[in-house]
């Protein structure tokens, strides 16, 4: 672990061992001051240009003339432009050769240029004009090969349809965007490591403050503040108490911390847009025997997933290995409850959930640079659930943890 973090250029936060207690919430069994977490630099223009060059090579091989991207994570990935989706189209067109085109409303141009991280041709449109007509005219003026424009799979229908109505041949992007984004660079891994380190440090600060009667909102506010003060952006704080922990994304029923009940926290943050997603399950007070046994089984499931995730292994085989072990323990089969009702893991990067997934039937071979959550939770409807989630990244030699999984239900942050 020390060598890996040194290679990544990150400082390791000092581990603290916590024991939840009904009188004071969480008592600190052993602790040391956490080392400061240095935020890594953002993605450089040179790296973004290398991404575009790779996309252009893939486009050429697929017979695409250009690639259409909308505001969102793929636009950030290739251009640095951080914008939101609205009825007013902001988009990028990456041609098979040459500089990208950025299209945006004229009154938004100064704001768009603030985050634009590469040289690009920026063209604007006014409220009475058509942005897709502008793109079509630009493509025709290039007098290029006349091949189709590949449309990234999250682009909204009105943008795709607008190009088509203006005579532009369109098709799917032939997997170009996915092929670029699924393999993370060392710089991306470092940013994700920082997000993970900050999230764990925030957990260690938050856990001792959990007290009887607190609501999910109370705990979430503490966690979000602990993340923000470390320089990251809180992304989500899902807090599930008692029976709500039996439902992976919770319940709308009133919840409060009670003696002997599960506290399940699923939280994450972003650093320069790159995400962390970490879950911990604890008990407020002394865990019951059944709670301990289920927690231990889920931790074993996490390790089975990690040990199965070898380069070249189909991603679905990771899910299958965990599910087979759980079935032997009496859970399932398959996705049936009590058991694991969701996939073992999802891809992660600029989006909290992105391809490839560790899910039954996924044939994509695991490869160095892929990043996943590892979260084979088990849920017992009407009672409680246990989810432990740490993320991994693939290397040529196998997976590595972004965060060290906990050792026991009594030491959830070790």
pTM, full prediction: 0.91
In a domain, 413, yes or no: no
Q: Residue 407: inside a domain, yes or no? A: no
Do 232 and 380 lie in a common domain?
yes
Tokens of 376: 């084979």
Residue 374 in any domain: the answer is yes
The answer as to whether 145 is a domain residue is yes
- Provide the token pair at 6: 């040194």
The answer to whether residues 100 and 233 belong to one domain is no
261 and 116 in a common domain = no
In a domain, 158, yes or no: yes
For residue 149, give the CATH number of its domain.
3.40.350.10
Tell whether 118 and 203 lie within a shared domain: no
Q: Is the domain of 170 the same as that of 205?
A: no
Task: Tell me the CA distances in angstroms from 324 to 295, 316, 329, 335, 338, one per residue in order.
Answer: 17, 12, 9, 11, 14
122 forms beta bridges with 102
SS3 state of residue 262? strand
CB-based burial label for 284 (10 Å; 0-12, 13-18, 19+): buried
Domain boundary among 181, 204, 234: 181
Place of tokens 């916590």: 18
**Is residue 12 domain-shared with residue 50, that is, in the same domain?**
no
What is the enclosing helix (H) or strand (E) of 74?
Answer: helix 73-79
CATH number (domain holding residue 325): 3.90.230.10
pLDDT at position 35 is 59
Domain boundary among 150, 165, 181: 181
Q: Which residues contact 340 (CB under 8 A, 6 or more apart)?
A: 301, 322, 323, 326, 331, 332, 376, 377, 378, 379
- pLDDT for 13 equals 29
Residue 24 in domain: no
75 and 170 housed in the same domain:
yes
Residue 339 and residue 379 in contact, taking contact as beta carbons nearer than 8 Å? yes
With respect to residue 408, please indicate whether it lies within any of the assigned structural domains. Answer: no
Cross-strand partners of 26:
20
Whether residues 115 and 213 share a domain: the answer is no
Give how many domains the chain has, as a whole number: 2
| Per-position pLDDT tens, the chain of length 414 | 223 322 222 322 222 222 344 333 333 333 333 457 899 999 999 999 999 999 999 999 999 999 999 999 999 999 999 999 999 999 999 999 999 999 999 999 999 999 999 999 999 999 999 999 999 999 999 877 678 999 999 999 999 999 999 999 999 999 999 999 999 999 999 999 999 999 999 999 999 999 999 999 999 999 999 999 999 999 999 999 999 999 999 999 999 999 999 999 999 999 999 999 999 999 999 999 999 999 999 999 999 999 999 999 999 999 999 999 999 999 999 999 999 999 999 999 999 999 999 999 999 999 999 999 999 999 999 999 999 999 999 999 999 999 999 999 999 986
- Let me know whether 128 and 199 are in one domain: no
In three-state form (DSSP H/G/I as H, E/B as E, the rest C), the secondary structure along 303-314 is HHHHHHCCCCCE
Backbone angles phi, psi at 389, to 5 degrees: -135, 120
The CA distance from 102 to 122, in Å, is 5
CA 125 to mean position of chain CA atoms? 34
Please give the Cα distance from 212 to 219 (Å, whole number): 11
Instruction: Give yes or no: residues 177 and 188 share one domain.
Output: no
Q: Does some domain include residue 255?
A: yes
Q: E strands of 31-116, at which residues?
A: 66-70, 91-95, 101-105
Q: Are residues 229 and 370 in the same domain?
A: yes
Range of the domain at 255: 2-19+30-40+184-401
**Cis ω before 382 (30° cut-off from 0):** no
Last residue within a domain, chosen from 181, 209, 241 = 181
Residues 231 and 312 in one domain: yes
């Amino acid at each position: 672990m020390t060598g890996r973090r040194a290679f990544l250029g990150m400082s390791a936060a000092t581990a603290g061992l916590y024991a939840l207690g009904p009188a004071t919430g969480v008592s600190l069994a052993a602790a040391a001051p956490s080392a400061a977490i240095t935020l890594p630099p953002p993605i450089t223009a040179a790296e973004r240009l290398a991404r575009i060059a790779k996309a252009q090579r893939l486009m050429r091989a697929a017979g695409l003339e250009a690639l259409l991207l909308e505001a969102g994570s793929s636009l950030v990935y290739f251009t640095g432009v951080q914008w939101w989706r609205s009825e007013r189209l902001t988009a990028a067109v990456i041609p098979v050769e040459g500089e990208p085109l950025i299209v945006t409303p004229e009154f938004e141009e100064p704001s768009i240029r603030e985050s634009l991280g590469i040289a690009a041709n920026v063209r604007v449109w006014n409220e009475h004009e058509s942005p897709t007509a502008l793109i079509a005219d630009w493509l025709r003026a290039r007098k290029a090969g006349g091949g189709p424009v590949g449309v990234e799979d999250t682009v909204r229908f009105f943008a795709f349809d607008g190009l088509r109505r203006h005579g532009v041949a369109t098709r799917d992007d032939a997997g170009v965007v996915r092929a670029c984004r699924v393999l993370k660079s060392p710089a991306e891994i470092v940013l994700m490591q920082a997000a993970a380190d900050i999230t764990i440090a925030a957990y260690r600060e938050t856990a001792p403050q959990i007290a009887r009667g607190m609501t999910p909102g109370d705990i979430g506010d503490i966690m979000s503040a602990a993340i923000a003060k470390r320089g990251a952006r809180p992304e989500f704080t899902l807090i599930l108490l008692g029976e709500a922990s039996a439902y992976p994304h919770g319940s709308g029923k009133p919840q409060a911390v009670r003696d002997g009940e599960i506290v399940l926290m699923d939280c994450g943050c972003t650093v320069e847009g790159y995400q962390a997603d970490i879950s911990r399950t604890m008990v407020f007070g002394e865990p019951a025997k059944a709670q301990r046994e289920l927690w231990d089984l889920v931790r074993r499931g996490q390790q089975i997933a990690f040990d199965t995730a070898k380069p070249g292994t189909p991603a679905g085989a990771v899910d299958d290995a965990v599910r087979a072990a759980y079935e032997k323990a009496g859970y399932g089969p398959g996705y049936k409850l009590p058991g694991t009702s969701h996939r073992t893991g999802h891809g992660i990067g600029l989006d909290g959930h992105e391809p490839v997934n560790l899910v039954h039937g996924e044939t994509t071979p695991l490869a160095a640079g892929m990043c996943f959550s590892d979260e084979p939770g088990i849920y017992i409807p009407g009672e409680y659930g246990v989810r432990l989630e740490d993320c991994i990244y693939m290397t040529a030699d196998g997976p590595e943890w972004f965060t060290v999984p906990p050792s026991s239900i009594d030491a959830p942050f070790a």
